[in-house]
């Protein structure tokens, strides 16, 4: 069974930093691209970032480009999202998501990590 478990969510101040982690199990992690998707309170889903299986190629939404960094450690079966220069509008639940075999959509999701940015 595929399991994705996020951690690292917390309350941060504007301008601050956080690091989210996603621990994966139940599938061959090394061959799957992974993404982060976020959901602001009461709002819809917003794709944030993706990383290819080797970690050599990354993609970002314009709203976070230059502030967030995605990475992965295949030996630990983990994917990370480093958040810098946080803004109030970054407040959201951040989901780790596994890409499907059949295209850039998501067949498994974690339970989410809450990031709250407030002074």
Partner 1 sequence: ETVMTQSPATLSVSPGERATLSCRASQSVASNLAWYQQKPGQAPRLLIYAASLRATGVPARFSGSGSGTDFTLTISSLQSEDVALYYCQQYNDWPPLTFGGGTKVEIK
d(CA 19, CA 73): 14
d(CA 81, CA 69): 6
Q: With respect to partner 1, which residue has the nearer C-beta, 77 or 107? A: 107
Q: With respect to partner 1, which residue has the nearer C-beta, 75 or 105? A: 105
Specify the residue for token string 């595929």: 2
For 7, which DSSP code? E
Tell me the closest approach of the beta carbon of residue 1 to partner 1, in angstroms.
12
Tell me the closest approach of the beta carbon of residue 27 to partner 1, in angstroms.
13
Tokens representing 101?
């075999």
Binding footprint of partner 1 on the chain (CB under 8 A): 35, 37, 44-47, 50, 59-62, 95, 100, 102-107, 109-112
């Amino acid at each position: 069974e595929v399991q994705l478990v996020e951690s690292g969510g917390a309350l941060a101040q504007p301008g601050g930093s956080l690091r989210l982690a996603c621990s994966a199990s139940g599938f061959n992690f090394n061959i799957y691209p992974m993404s982060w998707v976020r959901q602001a309170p009461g709002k819809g889903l917003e794709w944030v970032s993706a990383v290819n299986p080797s970690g050599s190629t990354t993609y970002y939404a314009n709203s976070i480009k230059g502030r967030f960094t995605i990475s992965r450690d295949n030996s630990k079966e983990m994917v990370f999202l480093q958040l810098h220069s946080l803004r109030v509008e970054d407040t959201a639940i951040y989901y780790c998501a596994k890409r499907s075999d059949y295209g850039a959509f998501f067949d498994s999701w974690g339970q989410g990590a809450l990031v709250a940015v407030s002074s």
